[in-house]
Amino acid sequence: MRIHVTILKSLARLYLMTIVLGFSSLALAQSSDETDTAITEAMQAMDNFMLGFNARDPEAWAESLNYPHVRFASGTVTVWESAEEFAKTQAFVSLPASGWDHSHWLTRDVTLAAPGKVHIATVFQRFNSDNEVIGTYESLYIITKLNDHWGTQARSSLAP
What's the full length of the chain, in residues? 160
**pLDDT tens, per residue, the chain with 160 residues:** 555 545 445 444 544 443 334 444 444 445 789 999 999 999 999 999 999 999 999 999 999 999 999 999 999 999 999 999 999 988 999 999 999 999 999 999 999 999 999 999 999 999 999 999 999 999 999 999 999 999 999 999 999 8
Q: What residue segments make up the domains of the chain, in order of their start?
A: 34-157
Terminus-to-terminus CA distance in the chain, angstroms?
79
Distance CA 41, CA 120 (A): 12
Q: How far from 54 is each of 68, 96, 127, CA to CA, in Å?
A: 22, 11, 11
User: With the C-alpha atoms ordered 71, 45, 141, 30, is the resulting torsion angle positive or negative?
Assistant: positive
34-157: what fold? Answer: Nuclear Transport Factor 2; Chain: A, (3.10.450)
